[in-house]
Structure 1
Amino acid sequence: MQLQTPEEVRGFLRLCLDPGLGRKKRSVTQLALIMPDWLATPLTEHAPHLAELRDAVDRAEAAATEARAAYTEGLWAWIADETTVRKGCG
């Protein structure tokens, strides 16, 4: 299948959402989460605003990953301190 026109890309994405008899349908949310770069590239060529939105999602996910790591580190430091205090008091 060629993905050179907006219609071809839309058609392929529709197939990804509903692959047909006996195959599980996907939601648009599921498709967005699993979309490979080889498919995102022709999509964003025809819909550049979606590239900007995908970049925003990637940045937000990276920030969330950093925030989770900082929280985890802070939580561990707090737990370690609490454990030390309890051992010293008991």
Structure 2
Amino acid sequence: MTTNLDTVGEVRDFLRLCLNPGPRRTGRTVAQLAKVMPDWLAERLTAHAPHLTELREAAVRAEAEAARARKAYADALGAWITEETTQ
């Protein structure tokens, strides 16, 4: 089955298939799907649901900021453990 995901129905059907791919195949939650959704699929989705674009972009920015914060914490923790800082 090949589809271009041109209609709302095609996109919804494909996303439903991603959530529940069928017997003997592992499904996923909507949260898991949102996290692993490739850009090409997100583009098709937002073509039909533009209100989701800003939310996805905010989530991507927040994840990047969280990654920077985790790195800063790990760097500071490492420095503290090795006594490279007195703070």
- The TM-score range, normalised by the shorter chain, is 0.7 to 0.9
Residue equivalent to 2:16: 14
Please list every run of 5 or more consecutive structure 1 residues that lacks an aligned counterpart in the other structure: 83-90
Q: Which amino acid aligns with 2:20?
A: D
Residue equivalent to 2:66: 64
TM-score, length of structure 1 as denominator length: 0.82
- Please state if 1:45 is matched with 2:55: no
TM-score, length of structure 2 as denominator length: 0.85
3-state DSSP of counterpart to 1:81: coil
Per-residue deviation, 1:19: 1.2
Number of residue pairs matched by the alignment = 84
Give the fraction of aligned pairs with identical amino acids, expressed as a percent: 61
CA-based RMSD of the aligned residues comes to: 1.9
Structure with the higher fraction of residues in helix conformation:
1
Q: Which structure: larger Rg?
A: 1
Please list every run of 5 or more consecutive structure 2 residues that lacks an aligned counterpart in the other structure: none
Residues of 2 paired with 1:55 and 1:39: CA distance? 14
